[in-house]
């Protein structure tokens, strides 16, 4: 975790470092690169998930440093800060610039940037994560107790204007939803950890017994004309091919969403019991994953771009944009940004892979996966959107045909690439290695 600490130190003291901008950037680059190499070559512990996360986050936070200290500048950053205002019963916010270096207020802002990879509540972050704001202007002659407040529609402005949320989320309902998400996420992750970890051999044995059961044999013989004669080794390969990939995706989803729900419950609910002024507001914790409806209109572009989590998306886009010359034509620029995002994401994942496996071939396979992924996405978009959508008649049956072809393409892609990805990525091993106490498990010990 030294990379995260270094990024925090550089953000905390950037303006006080007595170096010219080129030398300062060279300092950042060499220090962070050394930290990444150290995290990859010298794992912290024997715990797989800790070593994978350390290497993964080292590269991810190096991208955050590029975004916050190279592309942007700390003095240009602004944060939506909650302030006390007796004229309104609703939380009041103002846009505040980054505090001076080496101050306690600067430390608070830096900590928020480090634990807030999507820059929620920051002016440089995505506008979709900001609440709908109304500018608040209170007449001096109006009594606050009567609640007579003059409200004007407002947007992000410079200065000291005060804002309130136009459509605030009810805190109790938010906490109830997050508690339910946490329970479901823990159940999914615990099930994966137990049955794909200590009970993996038992799972393969039960799966083999199911496939060779008399009832299934009779059904296959009478209705399908098949005589299933499977060895235990074949059943184990079927588990790896068809059960492990979707189970691992579900565990990844539950792991990330569960951590977000736990942090939200603590900062929005737990701190509110201590002091309402310290607590975060519900809008500060939007979902990290998109709607599941994108599964039912199967396009790789939507699955990766809208359904899957966006924790690293801003840093990837910022870094990719900075690598492309400014005079590049806009259509080509968009294509290159998307392609570079996947390649850099491959490097992030490959760092975790190498730290755990020490296998250069596995690293090459993971990077190759992310290089090929945008090509698979582009192929589907060209065939489905540009060829079939343009040349087939605009009938309802045409939409059904395109949907079936898209679904078949996604299933084909998953069948061929998911085992490849999970075989080399070391993500299944990392997820199964979490040292959770057995008494916290929903399942009995094997």
The pLDDT value given to residue 91: 80
95: containing domain: 75-168
Considering the domain boundaries, does residue 403 fall inside one? no
195 and 142 within one domain: no
241 and 146 within one domain: no
183 and 155 within one domain: no
Considering the domain boundaries, does residue 160 fall inside one? yes
Of 144, 168, 192, the domain-final residue:
168
The pLDDT value given to residue 141: 34
Of 168, 197, 214, the domain-final residue:
168
The pLDDT value given to residue 12: 96
176 and 156 within one domain: no
Considering the domain boundaries, does residue 47 fall inside one? no
186 and 244 within one domain: yes
**Number of domains comprising the chain:** 2
Helix (H, G, I), strand (E, B) or coil at 152: strand
Query: d(Cα 43, Cα 280) in Å, to the nearest integer?
Result: 34
The pLDDT value given to residue 138: 53
Take residue 331 and report the two structure tokens written for it: 């259509």
Query: d(Cα 204, Cα 193) in Å, to the nearest integer?
Result: 15
Considering the domain boundaries, does residue 156 fall inside one? yes
Considering the domain boundaries, does residue 229 fall inside one? yes
Considering the domain boundaries, does residue 217 fall inside one? yes
pLDDT in tens, 232-279: 898 888 888 888 889 999 999 999 999 999 999 999 999 999 988 889
Considering the domain boundaries, does residue 103 fall inside one? yes
Among 280, 303, 276, 281, residue whose Cα is nearest residue 292: 303
110 and 197 within one domain: no
> Low-confidence residues of the chain, pLDDT below 50?
139-158
The pLDDT value given to residue 150: 41
Of 280, 307, 341, the domain-final residue:
280
Considering the domain boundaries, does residue 297 fall inside one? no
Write the DSSP assignment of 96-116 as a string of letters: EEPPPTTSHHHHHHHHHHHH-
pTM: 0.88
| Cβ neighbours for 65, distance < 8 A, ≥ 6 positions apart | 7, 10, 28, 32
CA–CA distances in Å: residue 159 to residues 19, 22, 40, 96, 155? 31, 31, 45, 8, 12
232 and 195 within one domain: yes
222 and 129 within one domain: no
CA–CA distances in Å: residue 86 to residues 143, 161, 363? 10, 15, 57
275 and 200 within one domain: yes
The pLDDT value given to residue 446: 55
The pLDDT value given to residue 159: 52
Alpha helix (H) ranges present in 241-304? 244-264, 271-274, 293-296, 300-302
Take residue 120 and report the two structure tokens written for it: 């929620």
204 and 150 within one domain: no
The pLDDT value given to residue 115: 93
151 and 82 within one domain: yes
186 and 142 within one domain: no
Helix (H, G, I), strand (E, B) or coil at 163: strand
């Amino acid at each position: 975790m030294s990379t995260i600490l270094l990024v925090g130190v550089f953000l905390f003291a950037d303006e006080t470092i007595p170096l010219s901008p080129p030398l300062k950037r060279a300092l950042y680059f060499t220090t962070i690169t050394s930290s990444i190499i150290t995290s990859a070559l010298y794992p912290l512990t024997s715990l797989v998930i800790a070593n994978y996360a350390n290497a993964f986050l080292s590269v991810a936070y190096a991208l955050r440093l590029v975004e916050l200290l190279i592309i942007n500048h700390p003095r240009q950053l602004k944060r939506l800060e909650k302030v006390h205002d007796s004229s309104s019963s609703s939380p009041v916010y103002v846009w505040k610039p980054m505090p001076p270096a080496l101050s306690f207020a600067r430390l608070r802002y830096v900590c928020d940037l480090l634990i807030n990879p999507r820059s929620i509540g920051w002016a440089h972050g995505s506008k979709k994560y900001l609440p709908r704001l109304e500018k608040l202007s209170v007449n001096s002659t109006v009594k606050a107790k009567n609640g007579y407040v003059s409200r004007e529609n407002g947007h992000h402005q410079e200065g000291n204007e005060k804002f309130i949320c136009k459509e605030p989320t009810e805190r109790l309902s938010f906490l109830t939803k997050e508690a339910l998400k946490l329970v479901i996420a823990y159940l999914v992750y615990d099930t994966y950890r137990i049955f794909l970890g200590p009970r993996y051999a038992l799972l393969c044995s039960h799966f083999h017994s199911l496939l060779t059961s008399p009832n299934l044999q009779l059904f296959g013989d009478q209705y399908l004309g098949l005589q299933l004669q499977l060895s235990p080794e074949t059943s184990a390969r079927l588990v790896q091919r068809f059960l492990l990939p979707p189970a691992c995706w579900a565990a990844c989803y539950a792991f990330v969403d569960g951590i977000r729900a736990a942090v939200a419950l603590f900062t929005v609910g737990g701190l509110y019991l201590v002091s309402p002024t310290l607590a975060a507001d519900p809008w500060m914790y939007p979902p990290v994953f998109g709607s599941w409806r994108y599964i039912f209109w199967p396009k790789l572009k939507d699955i990766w771009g809208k359904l899957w989590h966006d924790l690293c998306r801003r840093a990837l886009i910022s870094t990719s944009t900075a690598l492309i010359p400014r005079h590049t034509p806009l259509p080509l620029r968009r294509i290159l940004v998307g392609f570079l995002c996947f390649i850099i994401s491959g490097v992030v994942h490959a760092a975790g892979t190498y730290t755990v496996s020490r296998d250069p071939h596995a690293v090459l396979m993971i990077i190759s996966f992310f290089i090929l992924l945008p090509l698979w996405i582009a192929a589907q978009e060209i065939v489905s959107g540009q060829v079939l959508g343009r040349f087939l008649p605009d009938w309802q049956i045409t939409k059904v045909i395109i949907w079936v072809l898209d679904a078949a393409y996604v299933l084909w892609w998953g069948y061929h690439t998911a085992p490849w990805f999970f075989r080399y990525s070391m993500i299944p091993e990392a997820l199964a290695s979490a040292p959770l106490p057995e008494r916290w498990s929903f399942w009995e010990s094997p």
